[in-house]
Structure 1
């Protein structure tokens, strides 16, 4: 499906976006909801915590009136626990500047492979002032295709981390922002 009347809306406050983000997450991650780490309840806990962190922003993409995808991020500083969870030694320049941490990006199945995820991603990153962005990806997601997609968007591997005891081991990635 192609986006005909695709619109991107930015949110800096969680209240007007909460229900839509929860609904999108449940649909996008429907195949993983049986795993406690990916449950809607755990997502809601993470979303509530992240939404109150510095620099939180979400972008929701709409095709007409239908929400089709989302991303959200916040700013992490040099001493943030985000960096401390990465098991590989990190180069000082990577952690010495404010960084946009992309926490979630998801698109409903009918809109995948249409450019919607890149449009949402780019809209979120372009609106920011941080010099770099980072994200964590499950290296097995989509048989490695999700990782490869991020590489094609300019991200490079940094190391690995496990954000919580029941989460999978994730690959941390970083890229410079224009």
Structure 2
């Protein structure tokens, strides 16, 4: 039986020192999809650059032996945000009337999957937040539905669908209480 090295979780509120680590992990996590325009590393780089300038940007990276093995990042979304405007059907007011944290990306290198690394990263990110709800979008077909099922296991529930860009697949919008 092999064991994975222990990870150190670090929290960041600025992108400049971690951008290359994020891109490296993203590229490995999404290898089978990188040929698709929405999943290209350059497209991800543009998204993370934009998200990092939005209110409440926070990223958590996991490192093992000094090398990045996983990440998650998110930012605050307010009532009327384009995130909610693109969600159909319109989410219930209880989810949108106060700020929420949108988990924009989460990824873990293959060797660290099924080690609770993703859950640890997720939980540390949410522990830094003051919002009442966390929301995310997931491709329900990803991993033959395993990603969607994992988020349900973490307490998220479906509240609608969204297609953030013409190059993006239709995504399930999920939400859960943070507290």
Task: Give the structure-2-normalised TM-score.
Answer: 0.97
In structure 1, distance between residues paired with 2:131 and 2:3? 31
**Equivalent residue, structure 2, for 1:139:** 140
| Preserved CA contact (<8 Å) 1:2 1:114 | no
How far did 1:18 drift? 0.7
User: 1:54 aligned to 2:55?
Assistant: yes
User: 1:160 aligned to 2:170?
Assistant: no
| Preserved CA contact (<8 Å) 2:102 2:136 | yes
Within-5 A mapping of 1:65-84: 65-84=66-85
User: Aligned Cα RMSD in Å?
Assistant: 0.9
Distance 1:160 1:2, change over 3 A: farther
**Equivalent residue, structure 1, for 2:40:** 39
| Preserved CA contact (<8 Å) 1:2 1:111 | no
In structure 2, distance between residues paired with 1:3 and 1:123? 20
Within-5 A mapping of 1:1-178: 2-178=3-179
How far did 1:2 drift? 4.0
CA deviation map 1:14-39 (0-9, x unaligned): 11011101111111111100101100
CA deviation map 1:19-61 (0-9, x unaligned): 1011111111111001011000100110110000000010000
* Number of aligned positions between the proteins: 178
Task: Give the structure-1-normalised TM-score.
Answer: 0.98
Which residues of structure 2 form unaligned runs of 5+?
Answer: none
